[in-house]
Amino acid sequence: MKEQVITRPRDLQVGGEPYRLVWHKRRWMCRETACALATFTEQVPQIPARARITGRLRERVGRDVTDGGRTVVQAGRDHGLSWPVVHRAFVAYAAKVLPEDPPDTSVLGVDETRRGKAVWRRDEGTGAWVLVADCWHVGFVDAAGHAGLFGQVEGRTAEAVQGWLAAQPAVWRRGIRFAAIDMCATFRAAIRRALPHATIVVDVFHLVQLANRKLAALRRRLTFTQRGRRGRTGDPEWEVRGLLVRNIEDLTSEQINKIERNLGWMGTRGRHIAAAWKTKELLRSLLRLTFKHSRHTPSRTTISGARYRLQAWCAQHPFLPELVSLAETIDQWWDQIEAYVLTGITNAASEGNNRLIKLEARTAFGFRNRENQRLRSRCATTRRARREARPSSAWVRSSRMA
């Protein structure tokens, strides 16, 4: 033994109060000339050599950030640690609890979420602006279960999406039967190349949203044509603008009469707005044929009949470009729309995960490091799955007693 040293490593609090842990340990000296250490001190698994923080404190801090919903700053304040120390503990704990390969799923959800602003840099040689950091993150989500976010890729391009899918195990890719997306041609092209066996399903929410946008664009255009200005209080079509985008089955008879009465006061242009309103409801009638609403799988004859009624109604109004554009979009995405009617699969899981990702970013007051944001986003969206996978505390106590 060479000497005795005193260390004061930081440990977990007791009863919510910090305490001082003092360790009187011995420093040893090796008399062997071939020894590379020469001197060394005592150590235990919880406090390795040259450590100033116990292992259980590091694990607790990492768990607070990963599963506790705390930011790195808040976890550091609670335990009296610095930001770099807490962040390293978080990264180590996340690497331990997050699966290396994505869990198996039969339905893959693909959607993008915005991350701040894009970063551009001017090329000194050509003088052109080059995109350094994209403002979009594309997420891959378990749309059939609760596994959460599988991963994210920076950039809303077909190459980025296809590259992430190609990097996954072949067995996992073969298990995907459906892919739910919004009406993004980039995602559709990438999935067709990376998952040629999967059926692409378009999200119903974005379809109805598109119809409402066309209806609002038509109403604004006709208002400006008739009055030479934007709509305002007192205009009959302005008074019912909120009712037009609501589901017709949710409207009362008085509200429906108000729509018909106000649009009737406008004359021909009011009838055009009513035609767009009916187009939106015809599209909703087509989408409601799915077994989730009708309690049985619709036949292709029924689906074709609903599609014909919608397209025939749009063909009767060729002078309304909004309806013509909507009909063309439905034709271009018909295979994916029909897949939704037959399966009832939506991309609601991706939208829910996007909400959690944005909430995590707001809690942290934004992220400057994109890799850190992707890791925090994955931890936030997989907490439920990891909590369900862990055994209950009662089972743990009984197993320890046994």
Task: Examine the domain organization and report whether 188 and 66 are in the same domain.
Answer: no
Identify whether residues 214 and 333 lie together within a single domain. Answer: yes
CA 366 to chain centre: 16
Whole-model pTM: value is: 0.84
Same domain, 221 and 308: yes
Number of domains composing the chain: 3
In a domain, 266, yes or no: yes
3-class secondary structure per residue, 36-95? CCCEEECCECCECCCCCECHHHHHHHHHHHHCCCCCHHHHHHHHCCCHHHHHHHHHHHHH
- Based on the number of CB atoms within 10 Å of its own CB, is 104 exposed (0-12), middle (13-18) or buried (19 or more)? middle
Other CB atoms closer than 10 Å to residue 276's CB: what's the count?
25
Does residue 38 lie within any of the structural domains? Answer: yes
pLDDT attached to residue 396 = 43
Mean pLDDT in residue range 73-77? 92
What residue numbers bound the domain in which 64 lies?
3-97
pLDDT in tens, 345-383: 999 999 999 999 999 988 888 888 888 999 999 999 998
The answer to whether residue 395 sits within a structural domain is: no
Q: Which CATH number do you get for residue 356?
A: 3.30.420.10
Given 97, 129, 158, which residue is the final one in a domain? 97
Q: Is residue 337 domain-shared with residue 358, that is, in the same domain?
A: no
Residues 223 and 187 in one domain: no
- Domain end marker among 72, 97, 122: 97
pLDDT at 363: 86
Domain presence at residue 329: yes
pLDDT at 400 over 50: no
Distance in angstroms (rounded) separating the CA atoms of residues 98 and 116 = 26
How far the first Cα of the chain sits from its last, in Å, is 42
Please report which confidence band the pLDDT of residue 339 belongs to, taking 50, 70 and 90 as the band edges: very high
Residues 352 and 327 grouped into a single domain: no
CA atoms within 13 A on the CB side of 330: 30
Based on the fold, state whether residues 37 and 73 are members of the same structural domain.
yes
Q: Which helix (H) or strand (E) holds 23?
A: strand 23-29
